[in-house]
Amino acid sequence: MNGFNSSAISHMMRNRIDSAINQRLDRTNNARDMRNISSSRPAETSRAEQVSFEEALQVANPLNSISLGVPNTNFNPAIDAAVTAASIQHGVDANLIRAVIRAESSGNPLAVSHAGAQGLMQLMPATARNLGVTDPFDITQNVNAGTAYLRSLLDRFSGDVELALAAYNAGWPRVQQHGGIPPFAETQTYVPRVLGFREEYALQQYAQNIDLRRR
């Protein structure tokens, strides 16, 4: 049995998203009133225009995030470009890739863990070699290989993001052995942490999209 309740996390994030959406809509409508911009549309943004929570997280189409711009990750442009390219190539949600990078290395391409994991997505040397990486500190190679590995885990666990993340952290044999997220403190913390980062980025992109639609 998992040590965290993913539905509770989603409920908490839903409240955060609803609050942020309403604040953004209010700011947008106030700005439009002050600018006195004439429009054929109603002055107030209809709540019916809001997409669902699931669409806001962009889980239905993993490539939706590309069309909504890049959230404020504090990553350098080379990382964002590598994430976008890897997302397209491997069909993995760009925000999920960003979230893994943030959790693994905080966006430091030169990061090395005590266990020897390297680069942005903290690839172990053997994994990197198996994925054809010649320089684990190269941004493009590391992100592409890490995303390819994440894709393989998603496929192994039938698209279950929580199990794929647990496997990324603890290894897929341990996930299979325990029939779910292993009862390791690090993994139990890692999975909701990455999911929270992904939701944060999706919220930022959704807010950006509201701004673009109302201009």
Query: Is 162 known to be catalytic?
Result: no
Q: Rounded to 5 degrees, what angle do the CA atoms 20, 21, 22 make? A: 95
- Identify the active-site residue in 44, 54, 55, 104: 104
Contact 128, 136 (CB under 8 A): yes
* Residue 168: both structure tokens together: 């990324």
Question: SS3 for 107?
Answer: coil
Q: Assign residue 117 a region: left if phi > 0, alpha if psi is -120 to 50, beta otherwise?
A: beta
CB-based burial label for 209 (10 Å; 0-12, 13-18, 19+): middle
Round the CA-based radius of gyration of the chain to a whole number and report it.
19
Task: Tell me how crowded residue 197 is: count the other CB atoms within 10 A of its CB.
Answer: 19
The answer to whether the CB of 203 falls within 8 A of the CB of 51 is no
Residue from 57, 70, 63 nearest 6 by CA: 57
Residues in CB range of 133: below 8 A, 6 or more apart: 123, 141, 142, 145
User: What amino acid positions are annotated as catalytic residues?
Assistant: 104
